[in-house]
Chain A
């Protein structure tokens, strides 16, 4: 059988093609999978993507550097802060800029909260796919708390755009740290609740153990990163191994498993939830005082107060807003550990106020390639578990 215009598979006598998605509830967005099946067994799988392609990379080339921050949220709507961070780090590297400690610690804290929020969506929907509906409600209860924290600090629940080249948009408002503290105190017991619903659950174990196996060699060859790579036995976390934005000041464990199945990915992410809340706690306790923006008047917008009293500040503000700021020519690749794996920004500057080229290396895009390997020879029902376990976000795949 061959359909013109779409990814196709040739089938043998004993097999047939099953079309899964793009509106299938377990595909987390608009992912279409073409499954070649022999009875209930998957022989081959071809993912068909591009339904959410919006050409963000092209749009970036037409925007000023500071305008691109807003676009980066839209790539991965489950972890906006991570994308903001990766982008601003790349531009700061191009500029050779120092960031004040307070801004760095705030960035770490908010990033770990983002990781928790993202993992909660994953846990809730993954469980929902497999048939455990209650967990979803529990997870979204805590996610809502985190979104309220984001709203408090940035004014937005999801598309935060809170990080700026050179620091943060604003300092934390009054009562912010108390709110985070309250969340940190309560969250570990909430993770116990999720685990109480799932970890010892016989059905959950049966559906996850031994399913979607991926060896360490395959994971590396296929470009797998993040929790799914660590579940295959590769001890690699960019936060620890190639620290950025001050992660070297924090103590945390990197959960690694040798099993390489869906179960190992589940256990790893749940342990990451606990490690992340530990990092948030450390950041709260050691939060330095001081500025939240770098001292670079040509790049960083001046404070509101200064603009009203100083001519210079007003001129810089006008210049940055209308003409942008120029970035010395060159190219950088900045990678950070997003909840899904290695998020990388490749930015090339030609010395003007607009980036010459922005490329996003999104973890889900690479991780999706491993799906075929996980599902070959397995049952169709296991495909749903495997998709959930690699935690893809289609906005990030298609960009």
Chain B
């Protein structure tokens, strides 16, 4: 099997595992969602009419039949992009609710991810090149300390200082009064709202990149080809960038998707803290409201996103590093 076929195979197998997991998790738990929803509508202590529960079950399309036939039906619905109805935003479909939130998160997370990757690579490479210098120790120690802080806590600090005390940035939401679309007022407002959430993630996410890049770069700097490059009299800049950094970049490519997954976790908490209208806040709401169809769709969506990113990184790695293709092929 070629490198690429194996990576695509792994992606498909993982996707299947995730879908199956997502199918099984709610079915392993006791409780009937239809009953729960009727309870919510009529109040906690009121009498529950079985007819109501039945009507609700029909309306929500609650599954019937054997576990296997449910599974087949579930996969069929997924293939049609049908995630069911949201319990909380009833009668809206889950896909509509997610459609409203997804771009906020995608834009926020991708900007932060790309920027922190670049910052991490540059700082890490420079710290390794000037190893044991003041710059190096500031970067390494600083990263170590900041790395122990929790994203949601940094979010609260920034929110308190720049949102409430200084009033420089809005404290919640994604925009105020303008109509969403490509106009000046909306772009201006959304950037101002996104600034603090983005800053929070920007403080935390580059750290892994910085330390990882620094370590691989230091290892690379000890290699013979670097000594040769120096002996040839190549300028420092060329040796650092075109030789060492270029090779040290490689392992970071595969880390890209895994880092995306861990940043997603941070984004969920940060979005909730800033009441930012993205997927993370939606997930928090789905949890509080026991909106299981929404929660499941979100879990599936975020996981698939990370898996896709992982696939892209793997394929890219195969292109960038011929050794990867050969070694396992």
Does A associate with B in a complex? Answer: no
